[in-house]
Structure formats: C-alpha cells, structure tokens
Amino acid sequence: MAKEEKKAPKLRFNGYTNDWERKKLGILITRVKSYPLSRSVEVKKETDVKYVHYGDIHTNIADEIDKNNNLPFINEIYKEYDELKLDDVIVADASEDYKGIADAAVIISNLPYTIIAGLHTIALRPTSLIKGYFLYHIFKTENFKRFGHEIGTGLKVFGISYNNLAKYKVYYPQEIEEQEKIIGILSNLTNSINLHERKCEELALIKKALLQKL
C-alpha cells in the first residue's frame, strides 16, 4: 500500500484545518528582471537607487530588507531599470559552497528609494497564492538546502538556474492568514536571537575591558 502523502504539518496553529498545497515554485511566482551589475557600479555618495548584489545576500547585508538596510548606493542612471517591490524575494544564484546555494533576501517594507536586482541574483515576485516572506523562510529550510545541493552545478563556484529553482515543490498553507502567522512567529524568534546576540557582544566587550585593567 502506497504511503499517503501528508496534507499538513503536525505542528500547527489552532483553528486551521484545511489541507496545505504543494506546487512547483514556478507556478507561485513571476520573475523580475535581474541585471549583471557588479561592484563597479557602486558609488560612495547617497543616491535614490540601491541594488542587491549576491555577495550582500551571502553576508546578510541583504536579508530582511527595509528602509534602514545598509545596501550599496548605485548611480541614478539605473533608476529606470525594473525595480523590486514589497514582498519580492531575491535569491543568490551562485555560491562558493553548496550551503550558500539560493541564499535569499526579502523586502519587508515599502522603501524610500528604488532597488534593483544585481549580479548573480534571481528575483521572484509572489502571486496571490503565497507571501514572499513565507517563501523566504522556505528557502532557509533543510529540505530546500538539500534540493539546492542536488541540482547545484559547478566545481569551484556552484550555481542554480531559474529553470531548476522553479521546479522546487513548495509546501504551503492555502490560507494567507496562516502563512502570516507562521511568518510572525519566525520573525519574532529572529528578532529575539538578534537581541541576544547583541547582548552577548556587549558583555564580551565589557569582559575585554575588565581583562585589560587586570
């Protein structure tokens, strides 16, 4: 007898009983144009345009992007390029190791500047079926990382193409409200972790200062 495919996770918020859906990523998103813009386009002065370079995704400079994010400024001649919007997801398509394949960033608020997708990125815009912020968390899961490992190509630099990425089967709640609740609890945990990390850094500095006075 064939094993019945699970229709929802065991751990779930109360009040939700509908089966989850499973669809290929390519059905759940549309693609936004990315541009082969490298570090050479960055400028030191402030402009009205920023970009997401794949290196900034790998170093978490581009992660959960809001108006306070420290992304690089680029020349305003790029302002006419296709811009990213709230809830868009940007995926790094190249990495020096398999662990970094398809690392992702997401835009979590409306931005006071134009932002575009730069070198070695794949930009995704979710349809009405799924939240981009939910997809961002999906790209952090072990299941997705295993998928990236299996389809990644290359020897010294590993890569993933849009066509391969679009084949990944995403498991998600049908109700947007349930997606938003999952996003909320995961984001709260991230914020708590960040606060504790900053506290640890402050305590480490205090310890260092005390040791210097011994």
Rounded alpha-carbon distances, angstroms, from residue 42 to 28, 53, 54, 71, 190: 32, 10, 14, 10, 30
Tell me the whole-structure pTM to 2 decimals. 0.85
Q: Measured between alpha carbons, how far is 193 from 191 in angstroms, rounded to an integer?
A: 5
Do 107 and 191 share a domain, yes or no?
no
pLDDT at 10 over 90: no
**Residue 85 is part of which domain span?**
21-173
Same domain? 182 vs 77: no
Distance CA 197, CA 206 (A): 14
d(CA 102, CA 124): 12
**Given this model, what pLDDT does residue 1 score?**
41
Do 168 and 179 fall within a single domain?
no
User: Do 29 and 114 belong together in one domain?
Assistant: yes
Per residue in 102-142, pLDDT (tens digit) is 899 999 999 999 999 999 999 999 999 999 999 999 999 98
Q: Is residue 15 part of a domain?
A: no
Q: Identify whether residues 130 and 28 lie together within a single domain.
A: yes
Residue 38 lies in a domain: yes
DSSP 8-state symbol, 110: -
In this structure, what token pair is assigned to residue 141?
A: 């899961």
Clarify whether residues 124 and 179 are in a common domain. Answer: no
